Amino acid sequence: MLVRRFAWGLMALLAFAVAGYAIAISLVDDLRTPLVRQLFELQPWSAWGHFLGGAVAIAVGALQTHTMLRNRWPALHRWMGRVYVVAVAAGGLAALAMAPQASTGVVAALGFGALAVCWLGTTALAVIAIRQRRIADHRDWMLRSYALTLAAVTLRLYLPASQIAGISFLIAYPAIAWLCWVPNLLAAEWMLRTRHARTMLPRTA
């Protein structure tokens, strides 16, 4: 239990930090890196939608994964879920629009484009599941969706790590366009399979 609380706390801390960063660079031009500044210059509406939508999604999603909050205030959970879905729709559609112009070329563009499609798709499947009252399926798809939302965190961990390692941006960025989300999704699948396997174990008297 202590390990789970620590893991959630660390995840939430990183999520809120990235959300705050995304809001800050959306509002303050001087805080933008050259790459981010170029995005706002070339596709301002998409950039606004992606960074602000992503900021809301990652912050709200962190709270949605807290079991106690979800169980104690179900009505709040439902409303926050609606906010999350709208934020993902804004952030995902904007990301899809920006992906073809991704820095360093086609590999990065395909990586970010695939992330946007999977992010929108898993969230849509979660919405369909809850509308059909398939609670377990809804939770599974939401876990996958939030694992993809957390690509915003892993992206910002890998970029400075690659620079510290002395890897050229032209080499690192196309790889990070995939590495920021594929391992996240695989980790979510492993968590789901482990949880499902545990629930299927025979109970001893």
Q: Read off the pLDDT of residues 37-70 as tens digits, 9 standing for 90 and up.
A: 988 999 999 999 999 999 999 999 999 998 888 8
Residue 4: per-residue pLDDT = 81
Task: Say if 205 falls within a structural domain.
Answer: no
Helical packing angle, 135-149 and 74-98, nearest 10°? 50
Residue 201: per-residue pLDDT = 58
Distance of CA 125 to the CA centre of its chain: 16
Task: Say if 166 falls within a structural domain.
Answer: yes
Task: Say if 91 falls within a structural domain.
Answer: yes
Residue 61: per-residue pLDDT = 96
pLDDT tens per residue across span 139-159: 999 999 999 999 999 999 999
Compute the 3-state secondary structure of the chain and give helix, strand, coil in percent, each to the nearest 5: 85, 0, 15
Residue 12: per-residue pLDDT = 93
Q: Largest Cα–Cα distance of the chain, in whole Å?
A: 66
Residue 38's domain comprises 2-199
Task: Say if 204 falls within a structural domain.
Answer: no
Rg of the chain over all Cα atoms, to the nearest angstrom:
18
Q: How far apart are CA 200 and CA 42, in angstroms?
A: 52
Under-70 pLDDT residues of the chain: 200-205
Query: pTM, whole model, 2 decimals?
Result: 0.92
Domain count, the chain: 1
Write the single-letter amino acid at 196.
H
Residue 105: per-residue pLDDT = 92
What is the CB-side half-sphere exposure of residue 76 using CA atoms within 13 A?
Answer: 13
Task: Say if 185 falls within a structural domain.
Answer: yes
Residue found under tokens 């999350």? 84
Task: Say if 54 falls within a structural domain.
Answer: yes
